[in-house]
Amino acid sequence: MDQSRLFKQIVQTVDEFTNKIKATHGRFEDIQYRAHRLETWFKNRTSTRAVPPDRIFPDDLKLLRRDVKRIIQDFAYLPLWLAKIERYTRPQPELTDLAVKLTRSASQFQQVVLTLLAPIQIAHNHLKVAEWKIDAWFLAQEIEAWAKETVAVPLRCHNILLKINPMDRTPLPPGTEGVELPEPPPPAPGEEENLLMPERPPLPGAPGEEKPPEAAP
């Protein structure tokens, strides 16, 4: 197993997820701002039949939830991949700097995920329409559950660092103290040789993906 090449691939993958989340963060802040404006409008409206000025808000909220689900689904393979890599990592102190970089990238990723939670929780508190409030609540719950899963990423990377260099004194990433990681499944034949090319699960409904035919009634 070429550990140097593998670690560079992990850093690239983790950074890709971090950039995806950062790109999405602006949409969360936009939803929060618009939810506050809608709350003000509902308080000041003069008629119960008045139409909210932001008619596309519910559609944008649903699209945001859909896109976040796709990122979460794409992320699902990452903790298992890291667990397999941890299993086969061998001491190689000359790669310590690269392993430290990996741990820092993973820690940044986990912290960026947490930044998504506050805007949608605030938006949920502002919203008055039940359907919109429910969508925001489910999105907040999904992100909160995902944030708990992402803790495994910096912790696995820290474990990999310690296997690369047992003498390293890099502290545990924030928020990972006391977290117990599940054991990976038993190794499959040829697993170590295939670690460089993990197979990512397809994203349901992704552009260009054919949908399965619906069953006849």
Q: What is the pLDDT of residue 32?
A: 95
* C-alpha closest to that of 147 among 60, 62, 21, 19: 21
* C-alpha closest to that of 24 among 74, 58, 69, 64: 64
Q: What are phi and psi of 14, to 5 degrees?
A: -65, -40
Listed as ranges, residues in the chain with pLDDT below 50 are: 198-199, 201-217
Question: What's the token pair of residue 209?
Answer: 């993906």
Q: What is the pLDDT of residue 1?
A: 63
For 19, 63, 101, 156, 214, the CA distances from 66, given in Å and listed in that order, are 18, 5, 32, 28, 21
Q: What does DSSP assign to residue 129?
A: S
Q: What is the pLDDT of residue 183?
A: 77
State the Cα–Cα distance between residues 57 and 8, nearest whole angstrom. Answer: 40
Q: What is the pLDDT of residue 144?
A: 94
Q: What is the pLDDT of residue 189?
A: 76
Q: Mean pLDDT of all residues in the chain?
A: 84
- From the number of C-beta atoms within 10 Å of its C-beta (0-12, 13-18, 19+), residue 156 rates as buried
Q: What is the pLDDT of residue 22?
A: 92
In the chain, the largest separation of any two C-alpha atoms, in whole Å, equals 71
* C-alpha closest to that of 105 among 66, 56, 156: 156
Check if the beta carbon of residue 30 is closer than 8 Å to that of residue 104: no
Domains, the chain, with CATH or none: 3-43+57-176 (1.20.1050)
Q: What is the pLDDT of residue 55?
A: 86
Q: How do residues 15-60 score in pLDDT, each as one tens digit?
A: 999 999 999 999 999 999 999 999 998 888 877 667 778 889 999 9
State the Cα–Cα distance between residues 147 and 174, nearest whole angstrom. Answer: 13
